[in-house]
Amino acid sequence: MTYKIGQRVSRRIPILALSSIVVFISKVFLPSPIDKFMIILQVIFYTLANFMVGRFGGTMTGIVSGLLTQFWRPAFFPFTFLFALIYGLMIDCFISLFRVKTSSAPVNTWRLMIALSIASAILGGASMYVTVMVGMMPWAPSLYLMILIGGVLNGFAGGYITAQVWNKYLLKKWR
């Protein structure tokens, strides 16, 4: 029994590290505000971390990727870290709330797409509100509408892609 627990822990750390690095790279190489509506890699890897690591996998990925990004963009302290943490937590919560994943059955694609779109819309709205209120960005309704629409569409697309990858390729290997 001890071997099995150690094996699960040893699988979690590389998954969290890989997911966090991919999310970090996707944030760093796109200039702001483009990185705010091109979040499909973040959606996919937060969700896969949840599926592979278990409860709070997306949150742990958000913590690590948020810390990495925070060091790269210190001018946005503490918002970068907090929004990454909150996004991972919301993805984990909405996956649980919408009962997207059961123990051994395939992931429900529609529920996952809806859960990720709602999480993306909420975080997009909250981040826009905070950045405008603290004076980090000017009020530009057309830009924020693009970010909101892009976030929702990325949530749908990321949910679909993640469900397909999980159901076709990873479900049997991770159970």
In a domain, 145, yes or no: yes
Asked if residue 164 is part of any domain, the answer here is yes
Domain count, the chain: 1
Q: Which domain holds residue 160?
A: 2-170
The answer to the question of residue 81 being in a domain is yes
Summarize the confidence of residues 49-70 as an average pLDDT: 94
φ and ψ at residue 139, rounded to 5 degrees: -75, 115
Is 175 among the domain residues? no
Confidence band of 3 (pLDDT split at 50, 70, 90): very low
pLDDT in tens, 82-95: 999 999 999 999 99
On whether residue 87 sits in a domain, the answer given is yes
> Which CATH number belongs to the domain containing residue 113 in this structure?
1.10.1760.20
Helix (H) or strand (E) holding 54: none
User: Is residue 99 in some structural domain?
Assistant: yes
Which residues does 17 contact at the CB level (< 8 Å), separation at least 6?
Answer: 64
Rounded-to-integer distance, Cα 9 and Cα 54, Å = 11
What is the Cα–Cα distance from 144 to 140, expressed in whole angstroms?
6
Q: Which two tokens stand for residue 97?
A: 């709330």
CA distance 42 to 38: 9
| Residues 89, 94: Cα–Cα separation, whole Å | 9
- 158-175 per-position pLDDT tens digit: 999 999 999 999 988 876
> Which tokens is 73 given?
């963009």
State the chain's mean pLDDT as an integer: 88
Is residue 150 a part of any domain in this protein? yes
